[in-house]
Amino acid sequence: MTAPRSDALVVFGVTGDLAHKMIFPALYAMVKHGALTVPIVGVALPKWSLEDLHKRVVDSIKLSGGVDDRAALDRLLSLFNYVSGDYNEPDTFTAIRSALGMTRRPVHYLAIPPSLFDVTIRGLGASKLAENARVVVEKPFGRDLASARKLNRSARAVFPEDSIFRIDHFLGKEAIMNILYFRFANSFLEPIWNRNYIANVQVTLSEDFGVENRGGFYETAGCLRDVIQNHLFQIVALLAMEVPADRNFGALHNEQAKVFQGMRPLTSADVVRGQYAGYRKEPDVAANSDVETFCALRLFIDSWRWAAVPWYLRSGKYLATTATEVVVELKAPPQTLFADSAATLGRCNYLRFRISPNSAIALAARVKRAGKDFVGDQRELYLVEEQPGEELPYERLLGDAMAGDGALFAREDAVEAAWAVVDPVLKTHHKVRAYKRGSWGPKGADTLLAAGDDWHNPSVTK
């Protein structure tokens, strides 16, 4: 049975940076594509007029690529209403109800700091604005296992689980969705997609810039919480999961949750934390900060398919380039028939999933050179390249939430299972190691690798 579509969108935190950078451009795209025609109620503390909000929306669209459809922009602005109020005050929610008018199935998007999630959800419940409604909660969903459980209890006290959408914009990327499709749409992968043929899996999310103006936030989060526990773990789940029973998003979530539940909890020996030179001089950063701007870890999934296969994850600021990439490295042939085989030269055949800055899937294999000698080179065969007309991640995810499609959102048990993996090392860990800007992080990250393994550093060109 198809879920009823939401008939209004309420955006809490509409005056904030997230709305300005991501949400307004997504709403503009939705209007252009005919996917958004319902009222939008923006909610925030500043005492803005509707004209002030309109100026903010227009500024956002201009900065994100420009106004290429004035009629669509005018339609978007006409959908907006604005409510100024404190989330702790019942009058704020009364004003929201008034602004919603005759609509009865709103989706409430909490684009607000995590510290305000609980009070806002309780306000929605007390005002009966949660009836027949959905709620979208922006990451981070908790900062450890205990806080995630508390937040889940608060949300479930007001909304049923199938009306709670825990958003991770990474899951809305076309390249991430293509990993899931490629994995299960191609039968040739299944025979080799296991511990017998895969040597290791690496996931790298690197950025060539620092924390910029987010030093205060990073001091409360760090790389492990900010990127690895959510973004990179979600990639691991798509790569490691078993085939769902069907395309129902409940079946998909079941298999993803099993991956998180099968992950071995981390120990301090599995994690290397780094901090780029000069981080402690950034605004709002403590002079003696031990917060990591780089994190690498070694992960194991205790399942029949993945037993003893190491998963190497890393992410960091001020690294050599900005890229997100997955490399699935295959084991070497069991017998060295040719002198220049991968077993003697280092890197073996692999599959490479390029997620950003461009999207591609590549297969690396050795190809013989012309001539009598049996020597060759490792070449990459590109299978997919970035396609024009892709939806923005927030456009796709907001549209899915309004349609009640939870396939690309995280479920309660999966969120808690992921936190359970990293919880042991959030407080018990080694001190950060300094690394140079423009490098690939501290050399200590190499100690996580098994003998014969080495990091695959994303290229700046492809």
Amino acid letter at 146?
A
140 to each of 117, 225, 408, how far by Cα in Å?
Answer: 11, 8, 16
Amino acid letter at 45?
L
Other Cβ atoms less than 10 A from the Cβ of 181: the count is 12
What is the fold of 171-448?
A: Dihydrodipicolinate Reductase; domain 2 (3.30.360)
Classify 413 as helix, strand or coil. helix
Contact present, 359 and 178 (Cβ < 8 Å)? yes
Residues 6+ apart with CB under 8 A from 266: 297, 299, 421, 422, 424, 425
Q: Which residues of 248-270 are buried (b: 16+ CB within 10 A; e: fewer)?
A: ebeebbbbbbbbbbbbeebeeeb
Relative to beta strand 271-276, strand 433-435 is parallel
Contact present, 365 and 379 (Cβ < 8 Å)? yes
Residues 6+ apart with CB under 8 A from 273: 222, 223, 224, 292, 294, 295, 429, 430, 431, 432, 433
- Tell me if residue 20 is catalytic: no
Contact present, 222 and 427 (Cβ < 8 Å)? no
120 to each of 17, 22, 189, 251, 432, how far by Cα in Å?
Answer: 19, 21, 46, 30, 36
Relative to beta strand 294-299, strand 323-330 is unpaired
Q: What element of type H or E holds 110?
A: strand 106-110
351 to each of 43, 176, 231, how far by Cα in Å?
Answer: 46, 15, 20
Domain made up of 8-138: CATH architecture: 3-Layer(aba) Sandwich (3.40)
In the chain, helix, strand, coil percent, each to 5?
40, 20, 40
Helices (H) and strands (E) in the chain, counts: 15, 15
- Distance in Å from the first CA to the final CA of the chain: 43
- Per-position pLDDT tens, the chain of length 462: 568 999 999 999 999 999 999 999 999 999 999 999 999 999 999 999 999 999 999 999 999 989 999 999 999 999 999 999 999 999 999 999 999 999 999 999 999 988 899 999 999 999 999 999 999 998 778 889 999 999 999 999 999 999 999 988 888 888 888 898 899 999 999 999 999 999 999 999 999 999 988 899 899 889 999 999 999 999 999 999 999 888 777 888 999 999 999 999 999 999 999 999 999 999 999 999 999 999 999 999 999 999 999 999 999 999 999 999 999 999 988 777 777 765 545 568 899 999 988 888 999 887 878 887 887 777 888 877 666 667 788 999 999 999 999 888 989 999 999 999 999 999 999 999 999 999 999 999 999 999 889 999 998 666
Contact present, 143 and 222 (Cβ < 8 Å)? no
Out of 108, 169, 231, 456, pick the active-site residue: 231
Q: What element of type H or E holds 156?
A: helix 145-156
pTM recorded for the entire structure: 0.91
Q: Which residue has the tokens 């879920």?
A: 3
Q: What are the domain boundaries of the chain?
A: 8-138, 171-448
